[in-house]
Chain A
Amino acid sequence: MDKSEKIALFLGVCMLSLFFFAVLISAKVFKQDVPECITPDQIFTEGELVEIEPGKLYQLKYLSKMWAFEPAEVTIPVGSDVDIYLASQDVVHGFYLRGTNVNMMAVPGALNKKSMHFSKPGIYPIYCHEYCGTGHQFMKGKIIVTP
């Protein structure tokens, strides 16, 4: 290897390290991590919104099935912290809360979890973004965050 090659390689590794370090900070310091790995004994078969602390802390259990989310529509107040659990009743589904970092796969037999703090009021649409059969394009839901 000649000198220019070594310099190019060194700069490339520096660039990658910088990118990776930035991602690590966002994940671990600013808590924008990938979904959590939880190990349940069983998985719920009905979706529901559970109020833990009114106006502050909620559990949102989503059951995805061909071709709807249950519950299809929920309303929570702004400023809520919500633990979103995602399960599938049948095949693999996707769950993307538009405009946020809540992006999860619903895999039958496993339980997914991601937490979200809703600091802005508005309507947050949810789209299924994994092919789940002939009705996939109609599978959506919404979270309404009231002021």
Chain B
Amino acid sequence: MNAVKINKSTKIVLLIELIFPIALLTLGIYNGLLQTLYRSGVIKSNSFLGIEYYQGLTLHGVINAIVLTTFFAVAFGNVIMVFHLKKQLNKFTNILSISLMLIGTLMAALAMLSGKASVLYTFYAPLMAHPAFYLGLALAVVGSWVAFFGWIPLYLSWRKENPDKKTPLAVWGNLANFTIWFFASLSVAVEILFFLLPWSLGWIEGINVELTRTLFWFFGHPLVYFWLLPAYIMYYTILPGEAGGKLYSDKAGRIVFALFIILSIPIGTHHQFMEPAIEQGYKLFHSILTFGVAIPSLLTAFTIAASLEYAGRKRGAKGLFDWMWKLPWFNADKFLFAYGIVGLLIFIRGGAGGLVNASYSLNATVHNTGWIPGHFHLTVGGPVFLAILGLVIYMYSKIAGKEIQWKSANLMVPYFWFVGLMIFSTGLKMGGLEFGEPRRTNMGMSYLDTGGSNFEAFWLFTTLTTVMGGIIMTIAALMYFGVFFKTVFSKKVYEDSIVELPVTEAYHDEENIGAFRNYTPWVIAAVIIIAISYYGPISNAIENNVKASPTYLPGTPTPLEHSTVNTETIDLTQDAQ
């Protein structure tokens, strides 16, 4: 397929979407490394070089898991639409989208850097952040919606012009992803605009905390698929071709993305298994549906493995497992293969651990322990992060017309990251599962302060393991920053303003099916299942809340504004008998 030439405004917008989040990521990675140092007691203090522990943790989460992922999803989506549909982006939506995302990110960043938003990236009420934090996040999300709204007319006109063609798989996946994102983030928009923002501005006195949590996880779990699906698009439409093979089944890819539309959202309560106010039956139902959403991932594991086996055999592999070694593991020109395959290998561990979290009452063994960050660093910090790094530098080099610098270092980034991440996540998972190590806790000040009265020796080994892994991960990230910025500051050597992605042909190229050109039936099915699965938890959260919560700041145990607090005690004796 031919590359597509883009106009100047599109080029500038895309360059910002690629360079800005990577520049900000330096701060995110730095604060990630510091987390391991604080938690293990290497740093036994409240702050280091002007950034406090929980402030740094907030920066780490927001920058790495929200800003980087959202900017990338929009940039990759823009490139997919332009390249696969051969259409130019709408100038108005494109510029509005990047403006909103930039303004929003800067507002949130200022709030975090000034220390007024140390509420972590889940911003659970009733701990309150500066209003600029909530407003900034909301603007950034709306900015990503605007990009999506700009793609819809492009797709509709393409579909009209090509009545007999199948929707390109990457486009099918990209629009599926943003459909999920749009519906999911409606919920966090409600949480922010109707609850958190008016409450942080003092317009309403108190809020229902359990309801805001339920609204958050309505958004929070599909968020992880919004992170993951761009990586899936890479696995289906880029990886097999880069390996020298074909996609085993084109239809499997379409089914997988469609299943994600239906099953991504109605499962969020599996993050709330250990919470009060929500009935056990509803939690069980969400657990069943969460197992359902594992099916598209198992199907993906099969399809991609089959595609790579085909590639290996085309390269002359014989026998049962020989195809694995025939793949281009260390070809610097096929670095996207390395970024993709290493991410997939990590995801085997990430996905398996995820099933534990989703397993209803089994969740009690790991909930909010180190196991949880151990798990999601193997998903968002593994396959997602590596797909982002690889594709960002690939897209950048085409758009800017640059030669990628330090190619062998670029190739080695995913392998270093793999080694570091495996050690790091083993430390966190073991600490959580074996020794009940709490997540998001500045343990260096208490449980790992070797001289102090709170010292708990059994966490020493696991937290020091995470330090070792964290250092290797940081080295991999520094290598990437070196490669990326060396490339950014190098001279243009090719024609620029080019949008191009590697393509993959299908091995089983099935017929054109109407349901895989049209999102409406999938969205209707999703809305029905969401209504069924969320009616219970949301009405529970509303009904079982006894009082509205006033506002608290992280440093003060008394409410910011005095409102009525219940002072009577209930008799629980009856309940026990």
> Are A and B interaction partners?
yes
Q: Is there an interface contact between B557 and A66, defined as CB atoms closer than 8 Å?
A: yes
A132 within 8 A of partner (CB)? yes
Residues of A within 8 A of B363 (CB): 34, 103
Partner of B54 from the list A8, A23, A46, A131 (CB cut-off 8 Å) is A131
Question: Contacts A43-B566, A104-B274; is A130 near B295 (CB within 8 Å)?
Answer: no
Residues from chain A with Cβ under 8 Å of B456 in the complex? 125
Total number of A residues with any Cβ neighbor in B under 8 Å: 74
A40-B570, A131-B120 known; A23-B249 Cβ under 8 A = no
Docked complex Cα distance between A34 and B113 (Å): 38
Contacts of A99 in B (CB 8 A): 436
Q: Which of B12-20, B171-179, B519-527, B540-548 contacts A (4 or more CB under 8 A)?
A: B540-548
* Interface bracket on B: 35 or more
Report the separation of the CA atoms of residues A84 and B306 in the bound assembly, to the nearest whole angstrom: 51
> Does A9 contact B302, Cβ atoms closer than 8 Å?
yes
Q: Are B436 and A96 in contact (CB under 8 A)?
A: yes
Which single residue of chain B is at the shortest CB-CB distance from A111? B276
A94 within 8 A of B: yes
Residue with the greatest number of chain B CB neighbours at <10 A, chosen from A2, A50, A108: A108
The residues in A between 1 and 27 inclusive whose CB is less than 8 angstroms from any CB of B are 1-2, 4-5, 8-9, 12-13, 16, 19-20, 23-24, 26-27
Contact A34 B280 (CB under 8 A): yes
Report the separation of the CA atoms of residues A112 and B545 in the bound assembly, to the nearest whole angstrom: 11
Asked if B515 is at the interface (CB within 8 A of a chain A CB), the reply is no
Point out the residues of chain A lying under 8 angstroms from B125, CB to CB: 92
Which residues 110-144 in A have Cβ within 8 Å of B in the complex? 110-113, 125, 127-138, 140
18 more CB-based (< 8 A) A-B contacts, given A8-B298, A102-B364: A2-B508, A9-B295, A13-B295, A23-B361, A33-B361, A36-B280, A37-B280, A39-B543, A41-B546, A66-B556, A90-B552, A90-B559, A94-B438, A108-B547, A109-B547, A129-B367, A130-B124, A137-B447
B: which residues have CB within 8 A of A? 46, 52, 54, 57, 120, 124-127, 208-210, 213, 248-249, 251-252, 272-280, 283-284, 287-288, 291, 294-295, 298-299, 302-303, 306, 355, 359-365, 367-369, 435-436, 438-443, 445-447, 454, 456, 508, 540, 543-549, 552-557, 559, 566-570, 572-573, 575-577
Instruction: Give 18 CB contacts A-B under 8 Å.
Output: A5-B252, A5-B303, A5-B306, A19-B291, A24-B360, A27-B360, A37-B544, A42-B568, A59-B572, A65-B557, A66-B556, A86-B276, A92-B126, A109-B547, A110-B276, A133-B555, A133-B557, A136-B441
